[in-house]
Structure 1
Amino acid sequence: MQKVAVDRRVARTRMALKHALLTLIMRKGYDTITVEDICAEANVGRSTFYLHFASKDALKLSGLEHLREQLAARQQETLTSAAKGDGLDFGLALFQHAREHIDLYRALIGGKGEGIALDGIRRILADLVRAEFEATADGGASDAIAREIAVQYTVGAYMAVLAWWLDRGAEPSPERMNELVRRLTARGIWAY
């Protein structure tokens, strides 16, 4: 019984710290934020912060873990289902998540976030694309360099389109964006 209470307190503290960081990013930009600023915004002590995170960068990266989990779950659903799509099935979850958190994405990808999340999002997408390519490989000899080029090409396409889409106010719908990007990207990747 006591363990549940501790786990809830830990979860609340972590959420308060993540929320504080996001609030501060949108208010004043990532580079100027200090651990003291985060602690003041979250109303926690500095030692409490360091019990949970090694640095503000570690706190930032932990915030991307939710996105990774959502996208990986969506991809796993599709890869294990009998009715497989034409590939890149995590895309809808990406566009839906971005639209639900449009202000945060805008802050993280550009503007006051100074692009702090770009590398994290790129790594998440690259891992998902690699996993999908491995799961759908036809068993023939693989060319690791060609495969990695295909991964980077696909990730670059998603990142460019995501930034453009957010600048337009997340229109058209996530479903339409997913359909268009998958159609454009999957044709070239799978043909290759």
Structure 2
Amino acid sequence: MNRPIPALDPRQRRTREALQSAFMLLATSRRYHEIRINDILQASGVSRSAFYEHFASKDALLASSMEDAISLLVGMLSDQSNPRQVEALLDHFWEKRTLARGILQGASSRVIRNALVQRIEAHLGRRGGKRLRIPHRLVAHALADGMFSPIIAWLAGESACTSTELASALQDASKATLASMSAAAAQTASPSR
């Protein structure tokens, strides 16, 4: 699920993809905190210097590996989003649920959640003149939790629904949360005294 990096030449792209593939392969058999950069280097055949040309840390590699998923989740906040793409992402997570649960929980969940919060905050900053009742950072945290928590619970089997139902509910809830955080919503919700 990694999209190509257009600014990289083919050799750089192959190096980046080798690192991401090695990381994901290691993640199928180890917990995130057990994976060391040396393990990634050995599995990918990439040198340490080449690793650091592409990624500042193992956390940066993980965030990059989840970029497509994060983009789809952030996309739910826009009018151009496609629930079928989110549904396909959820289907992918379900098919690889052991790996997905392992990556979306524990130490790695902090990294992914932080990347999601940063991307949502950046998205909110690009919305133009639409003011929010609270700072973008706080809204980003609320939205990230509203997206992330149901997916984790669903993958853990805490409750059952289809990926179609979950994708639709996540999109509706994300848009409703964002609408409720708008400054205009605050003005209409305030009782007159």
TM-score scaled by length of structure 2:
0.66
Cα deviation, residue 162, structure 1: 0.7
1 or 2, which has the higher helix percentage? 1
Opposite residue 89 of structure 2, the aligned amino acid is H
CA separation of 1:51 and 1:122: change in aligned 2, threshold 3 A: closer
CA RMSD of aligned residues (A): 3.7
In 2, distance between residues paired with 1:179 and 1:132? 21
Residue pair 1:125, 1:155 contacting (<8 A) in 2 also: yes
1:116 aligns with 2:111: no
1:144 aligns with 2:134: yes
Q: Name the count of aligned residue pairs.
A: 172
Residue pair 2:73, 2:147 contacting (<8 A) in 1 also: no
Opposite residue 155 of structure 1, the aligned amino acid is A
Residue pair 1:75, 1:90 contacting (<8 A) in 2 also: no
Q: In the alignment, what sits opposite 2:92?
A: 100
In 2, distance between residues paired with 1:32 and 1:134? 38
Selected match of 1:50 from 49, 52, 56: 52
In 1, distance between residues paired with 2:74 and 2:178? 20
User: Residues 17-96 of structure 1 correspond to what in structure 2 (within 5 A)?
Assistant: 17-72=19-74, 76=78, 78-79=79-80, 89=81, 93-96=85-88
In 1, distance between residues paired with 2:172 and 2:73? 19
CA separation of 1:126 and 1:172: change in aligned 2, threshold 3 A: farther
TM-score scaled by length of structure 1:
0.66
CA separation of 1:188 and 1:17: change in aligned 2, threshold 3 A: closer
In 2, distance between residues paired with 1:189 and 1:49? 38
In 1, distance between residues paired with 2:52 and 2:128? 42
1:142-174 Cα offsets, whole Å, 9 max, x none, are: 5335x7655433332222211111112995332
Residue pair 1:98, 1:105 contacting (<8 A) in 2 also: no
What is the identity percentage for the equivalent residue pairs of Structure 1 and Structure 2? 19
* Structure 2: unaligned runs, 5 residues or longer: 1-5, 186-193
